[in-house]
Amino acid sequence: MSRGMARAQLLILEPPPKVGAKPGAVLERVRFQFNPNRLSLTKSTEWRRKPSRMAAESATPEFVGSGPRSLSLEVFLDATDTHDGSVERKVEQLMVACVPTEKSLRAKKPASPWVRFEWGSGRTTSFDGVLSSFSVEYTLFDTDGSPLRATCAVGIEEATADALGQNPTSGTPEASRTHVVVAGDTLAQLAWQEYGDPAAWRTIAEANDIDDPLELLPGSELLVPTTADPATRVPTEVAV
């Protein structure tokens, strides 16, 4: 039995009611008429250098943090077969993500919706975010001037809610950074890289509520405390 083709869609979600919370209910489910033929994903990191006038080479960079993912895609709309105004209706659905929701206005905390692009089993391009840019180019019109064909350019910037204590400036005693898991990563290996002690892997496990340290999903992000908690280290055996 052949599997049907997965159809891309954009979920428009009620924004979180407060900092650190997850987005709320689905406001719109915009199913794409045609799947995108190209997706552009970017992610940045921030580094800091302290230049010295006496140094012959540049200073060693200090890692500051991991920036958000950004996704760019185009949505193609066509109503040349139907002449039913569906192009503008789809555009209006997408533009809902550009204005504050009624619920946020009633709460006197205006906020535009969050969005999430979904397409089959894709993981790296599916994340909670906000619409950072949106534009429409109409390229064909009916005899009454209504658009029959359009291309929408959509930009999404990641806006994943941080768990309490993950922000180094939130007043917590210890700062943290994030690490994107790649194939072959282990907590012991990461603990060795961060702390010089593979036995400190429990510090990372507890910070991320990991029950099984052997099951790390490539592409997921781990919170890595900048210092290891001695209480979480596995004691090493000493020969006597």
Q: Is 54 exposed, middle or buried (0-12, 13-18, 19+ CB in 10 A)?
A: exposed
Count of domains observed in the chain: 2
- State whether 185 and 149 are in the same domain: no
- State whether 147 and 205 are in the same domain: no
- State whether 154 and 204 are in the same domain: no
- Kindly compute the dihedral angle of the four CA atoms of residues 195, 196, 201, 205, in this order, to the nearest 10 degrees: 20
Q: Would residue 22 count as lying in a domain?
A: yes
Quote the strand ranges of the chain, DSSP E: 9-13, 26-31, 39-48, 62-78, 114-118, 128-141, 147-158, 176-180, 221-225
Pull the structure tokens for residue 151. Answer: 């291309």
pLDDT of residue 87: 97
- State whether 117 and 212 are in the same domain: no
Q: Would residue 171 count as lying in a domain?
A: no
Which structural domain range is residue 25 located in? 9-48+55-158
The CATH number linked to 200 is: 3.10.350.10
CA distance 129 to 140: 31
Q: Would residue 166 count as lying in a domain?
A: no
pLDDT of residue 215: 75
CB 15 within 8 A of CB 104: yes
Q: Would residue 191 count as lying in a domain?
A: yes
pLDDT of residue 157: 96
The CATH number linked to 149 is: 2.40.30
pLDDT of residue 170: 43
The residues, any chain, with a CB within 8 Å of residue 184's CB and separated by 6 or more, are none
CB 111 within 8 A of CB 117: no
Report DSSP state, residue 79. Answer: -
- State whether 136 and 192 are in the same domain: no
- State whether 25 and 122 are in the same domain: yes
- State whether 78 and 35 are in the same domain: yes
pLDDT tens for the 240 residues of the chain, in order: 345 789 999 999 999 988 778 899 999 999 999 999 999 999 988 888 777 776 677 778 888 888 899 999 999 999 999 999 999 999 999 999 999 999 999 988 899 999 999 999 989 999 999 999 999 999 999 999 999 999 999 999 999 755 444 444 444 444 567 788 887 788 888 888 788 788 888 888 888 888 777 778 887 888 888 776 655 555 444 343
- State whether 153 and 69 are in the same domain: yes
CA distance 220 to 190: 14
